[in-house]
Chains A and B, each alone.
Chain A
Amino acid sequence: MSETVDILLTVNGTQRSANVEPRKTLADVLRDDLELTGTHVGCEHGVCGACTVLIDGEAARSCLTFAVQVRGSEIVTIEGLAEDGEMNPLQQAMQASHGFQCGFCTPGFLMQITALMNENPKPSEPEIREALSGNVCRCTGYQSIVAGVLRATGQSPISDSTHQE
């Protein structure tokens, strides 16, 4: 144990505080201290993207950021996407396109896609693939995920998708 530090974060619009060891990553604090277990941890060294959240509007690896580094920041996690208990349009589009199977990587993908859509409301397929290149999915083969993003942004799904409409 090392000395603990008081931190204050805004998580999904709500002020949260915690008293944490400095070596706790943002992912650890979200999951263990704030009990927001929607953020998944995969590799825990920055390769897989499962733990992606938004820090002050930008996608970031919550496993590669100590919570103490982002004191005072605004964090958005997968729990922050639904509106009044209803899946948001991105979540609905992903469901309609079968954009996940086991679901482990899904929170990271959705947060990365949210960041992409905030910056670029109509991304092309290459832009989608570039933005998602840091997120690993071992089930879907990615086609249905890309199709989900196209659907969410009001574009027709890719023609060679394995999930024809």
Chain B
Amino acid sequence: MGERLPLRSRPTPTVHSRSSGDQLKSPPFAYVAPTSVEEALTLLAEHGDEAKLLAGGQSLVPLLALRLASPSALIDLSGVPELDYVRRENDHIAIGAMTRERAVERSEVVREFVPLLSVAMPLIGHLAIRNRGTVGGSAAHADPSAEIPAVAIACDAEVVVRSSARGERTITSDDFFQGFFSTALEPDEALIELRFPVVGPGTGVAFEEATRRHGDFAMVGAAAAVRTEGAHIVEARIVVIGVSDKPVRRREAEQALAGAEPTRAAFEEAAALAADSLTPPSDLHGTSTYRRHLVRVLVRRALESAVQHSQEGG
């Protein structure tokens, strides 16, 4: 040991190949690739709660790479095209769970009928992430700082889930998103579809975020949808992210705006109401006080820009 070997007799260095053993980032898992929803649900029921559904993988693969998750099996939905759609059905827009975020970002139907979802899309990660990431994947992952859950809660969207044993059920967004990475999905259930109500005429929307770098998860974000008629606000919806274990509606602030004129003073009062009762967590990226300050600033900006948007014709 420690003795320097003559060059010629040195052992051949092992080429760093990651084709074997534990040199790969992800822990091993069993892999199945169903070709229909029915087959996926049967597999999910068989594999139990140690299995995970793999949608676009933009949240799950990093969790595996960092070994924060080690599911026994992955059920890959890449081969289930029946979950990839955006369509209008009566008074709502139905979006299949495997619809890519980029497809939603490009969708004219979404832009017209669920404008808040449309403006939220460019805030999700980066282009290359949105090309693979799916609407259902983001919702089922339930990151408390993610945009899709915030928009779902702001819009009173419904979540359709299905299991092979009990069939389909529909859950309100408020009940679906339960907390940090936690949803109402049972281990044998898959998220099938999100249903966003079609917005009324005269609705303006905005999604404001404060991030440390472009494309990062927001320290704090504020989504607003404001419907005006003539010189008055008929209805306002405000949701804030980055302050709790799930996106939070700010109903007191919403009520203060109903019937009010869209003035700077009204927006400031609503923003203060939205911020004052919150006790956001402190972490490396910002103290509780700073986050509360951001809520106030971002809610005001979101309201101003939403009303401006509604006056430009929605």
Residues on A facing B (Cβ under 8 Å)? 1-3, 5, 21-25, 28, 32-33, 44-46, 49, 52, 55, 58-61, 63-66, 68-71, 112, 115, 131, 133-134
Contacts of B131 in A (CB 8 A): 55, 58-60
Whole-angstrom distance between the alpha carbons of A112 and B65 in the complex? 23
Provide the main secondary structure of the chain B interface: loop
CA distance A55 to B26 in the complex (A): 21
Inter-chain contacts of B34 with A (CB < 8 A): none
Binding site for A on B (CB under 8 A): 17-21, 24-31, 33, 54, 57-58, 61-62, 64-66, 74, 76, 78, 102, 125-129, 131-132, 214-215
Q: How many A-B residue pairs have CB under 8 A?
A: 98
Please determine whether A5 and B31 come into contact, CB atoms closer than 8 angstroms: yes
Asked if A44 contacts B129 (CB within 8 A), the reply is no
The answer to whether A23 touches B128 (Cβ under 8 A) is no
In the complex the two chains form, what is the Cα distance from A2 to B19 in whole Å?
12
Q: Given A52-B128, A131-B127, check contact A64 B215 (CB 8 Å).
A: no
- Residues of A close to B28: CB separation below 8 A: 1-2, 21, 23
User: Does A1 lie within 8 Å of B31, measured CB to CB?
Assistant: no
Asked if A64 contacts B31 (CB within 8 A), the reply is no
How many Å from the CB of A113 to the closest CB on chain B? 11
Complex contacts, B65 vs chain A, CB 8 Å: 44-45, 63
Q: How far is the CB of B24 from chain A (nearest CB, A)?
A: 6
B-chain residues with CB within 8 Å of residue A60 when the two chains form the complex: 128, 131-132
Rank and list the top 7 A-B pairs by shortest CB-CB distance, nearest first.
Answer: A134-B126, A22-B31, A23-B26, A2-B28, A45-B62, A58-B131, A59-B128
